[in-house]
Amino acid sequence: MTLRRLLAALAVLLAICRVQASLAAPQAMVAAAHPLAVDAGLEVLRRGGTAVDAAVAVQMVLGVVEPQASGIGGGGFLLHYDNATRAITVYDGRETAPAGATPTMFLDGNGKPLGFRPAVVSGISVGVPGALAMLELAHKEHGKLAWRDLFEPAIAAARDGFPVPPRLAAWLSRIPGLREEPGIRAVYFNAEGSPRKAGERIANPDLAGTMRLIADQGTRAFYEGAIAAEMVERVRAHERPGTLSLADLADYRPIKREALCGPYRLWVVCGMPPPSSGGIAILQALTLLEPFEIWRDTPSDLRSIHLIAEASRLAFADRDRYVADPAFVKVPVEGLLSPTYLAERRKLMSPDRSMGKVGPGVPPGYVERGTSHMSIVDRWGNAVAFTTTIEAPFGAQIMVRGFLLNNELTDFSPLPEADGRPIANRVEPGKRPRSSMSPTLVFDQGNRLVAVLGSAGGSRIIGDTLQALLGLLDWNLPVSAAIALPRVINSNGPTELERGPLADLADGLRGLGHQVQVRGHEGGLTGIRRVGDGWEGGADPRRDGAARGE
């Protein structure tokens, strides 16, 4: 090892040592993006609630204190593990395109994709929210406590107020245009238009009232009636109006799917199937990496960082070509995860040279045609990995009765076709846009749950979750240290290195043929890992999160 590589390795280890030690808990653990949400989940577990009960309470509080990332106006994916039956249930609460959506809705008059702000801050970006319907279904099947009681911590926080978290304050100062939305301005800005600062106390009484209705009447109060009518009116009255209708809302249904599971060394890793690309991409990357035995390297070794970037590059090439809503596109899942196919793709990887931008493969069976994450384990060993989102910070920047509407439809491809061929992730009525959300469960050879994790961060979710898994499984790091590892991200383009210790590897990677960008990284991971007969938890130190248990 050269002196430079040794110094980089030591810098990473020092950074890991500075992370707050993982919290050990004998029975139950909650890790989420804000301490108030963690406290709400833990209180539910203390009262005999299940992991799903706690997930409902955590999500509702996050919608109050972390409105830029998630809430009842968005959607999500939830993996549930039942320790008694050893069954994994996948709940798909992804938003859907309204019946009036068209493949060209994100193109301008010249047939070119709309710019970021015109596409996002608009009525056309709003999908039918799915989080509430999904949580209600999961609660009916795995909850123990009354639905209405799970809303009480969130209602109290919205009614009585809470200190503005640092991350929310930072986003309010970054997006001054938010004050143009009257509902957002009334809650998050001062009378003269300045953003509320970290630590100032704010309340959201409209959201408290909305949550009270949903707590008392169930999700019907959201998908039908006055709340639904107001959502439709706001979307259709926007200067760039969408087509959301009362029928779209009333017809929304969550979907139960089969988990995607695959082996990695001594473990089985289970994740989300399409329309998420996360499960496929992570399993592909792990399979591609396994023969390289990166566990022999350090987390900051040039070789391991290079190989992680190259495996991610190959996974993203296939993701962009093949993965979309399986109700509309035949996704060759088995082919993409075939060991034979991945062995052929692995031949493109070299320890000594980057392959550069790469095209997708042709897998067997192919026929031509703002986010947040929580990880929870309850006293019975049941677990939830739940990634929830409204997409961009503050979603479509449309507030209805205290909550923000998502802009998830911008996750579709703005172009309907390329090279004369339909794009898999093009907009179609009723379709669920492709996602990178990657809630993940890990099991040992005895089929015992050993880890629960996932991340926020848009398309970087896949790389964050992959690297945290490698930290846990290859380098045997505590969960908090695996979450805090400096990041390398590759989405089949430039290799991104997180600003900090890994930046010293930039020249080495360039020497291997990488285009390198050194930048800040927002992170958003939370995770739980088995330690003996108990659990340890961690939350990303780059955000406001926490992990607590008892």
Catalytic residue ranges: 371
- Widest CA span of the chain, in angstroms? 67
What distance in Å separates the CA atoms of residue 370 and residue 440, rounded to the nearest whole number? Answer: 19
Going by their DSSP bridges, the two strands 449-454 and 526-531 should be labelled as: antiparallel
What distance in Å separates the CA atoms of residue 439 and residue 494, rounded to the nearest whole number? Answer: 25
Cβ burial of 206 (10 Å; 0-12, 13-18, 19+) is middle
What distance in Å separates the CA atoms of residue 292 and residue 285, rounded to the nearest whole number? Answer: 12
- 45: tokens are 């577990």
What distance in Å separates the CA atoms of residue 31 and residue 408, rounded to the nearest whole number? Answer: 25
- List CB contacts of 24: < 8 A, sequence separation 6 or more: 531, 534, 535, 536, 549
Question: Cα–Cα distances in Å, from 91 out to 148, 453, 488, 550?
Answer: 21, 16, 30, 27
- Cβ neighbours, 10 Å, residue 417: 11
CB 335 within 8 A of CB 343: no
* 3-state helix vs strand vs coil in the chain, percent to 5: 40, 20, 40
Task: Please provide residue 195's backbone torsions phi and psi, each rounded to the nearest 5 degrees.
Answer: -70, 150
Going by their DSSP bridges, the two strands 495-498 and 516-519 should be labelled as: parallel
